[in-house]
Homo-oligomer: A and B are copies of this chain.
Amino acid sequence: MTENDKLTEERIFEAATDVFVDKGMDGARMQDIASYAGINKALLHYYFRTKDQLFNAVFEMIARKILKKFAPVFDENLTIEAKIRFFFREHIAFLQENPKLPGFILNEINRNPARIKKLLKNIHFEKLWEKLYEQHKAELDNYNITEDTMPQLMVSIAAISVFPFAAKGLIEGILEKVGLDFNKFIEERKEFAAAFVIKAIKK
């Protein structure tokens, strides 16, 4: 029973994840999720009372998954440059396996900015900030990184990693027209991005 339970609920959850990520909250249909999970629509409401509830469960799971991917940046004991290389390699690899996540997340943040504030509440950026600073204090003399430009740098790094996936349709289209392959472009990007950023910040 409890075994079968888990199976059904899990099947629903996975189906919901697929459909929501693909169509977004507004575009997703409960019937689609049910069909995709191979069950009756009423059973959806039996396990997750409303569409909102189901969506929230999916969204939170995905958000947690993503935040987890960022964590190593603050933990790993590496030099600045090694960390940058590590980040792009791991993060882009993650996005290669989940190429639709950026578009989904960005869109849903736009649709409901309040939700994200709730998620951010439990993260103490000042602490992470200080931790990061402590880790690399000695190195910083060799780089053009100040307290002012740090947020700019972080956003730029995120942008360089995430944007190609958020704009996949567009970039894929353009690359195709000049005879290039999106997947190869992404594969090369892991190295390019790291070198690019390192060069930009080095004194």
Contacts and interface: CB of A to CB of B under 8 A. Distances in A.
Give chain A's interface residue range (CB within 8 Å of chain B): 35 or more
A1 interface: no
Contact of A163 (B23, B103, B155, B169): B155
Interface in A149-173: 149, 151-153, 155-156, 158-160, 162-164, 166-173
Nearest to A100: B110
A160 B167 CA distance: 13
A51 interface: no
Contacts of A189: 152
Contacts of A148: 188
B152 A156 contact: no
Contact of A193 (B27, B156, B175, B193): B156
Give the 8 A-B residue pairs with the shortest CB-CB distance, closest first: A159-B163, A26-B26, A200-B200, A113-B169, A109-B169, A159-B159, A26-B27, A103-B110
A126 interface: yes
Nearest to A202: B199
A71 interface: no
Contacts of A53: none
A86 to B, nearest CB: 19
B129 A173 contact: no
Contact of A109 (B153, B158, B167, B201): B167
Interface string A72-110: 000000000000000000000000000010010011011
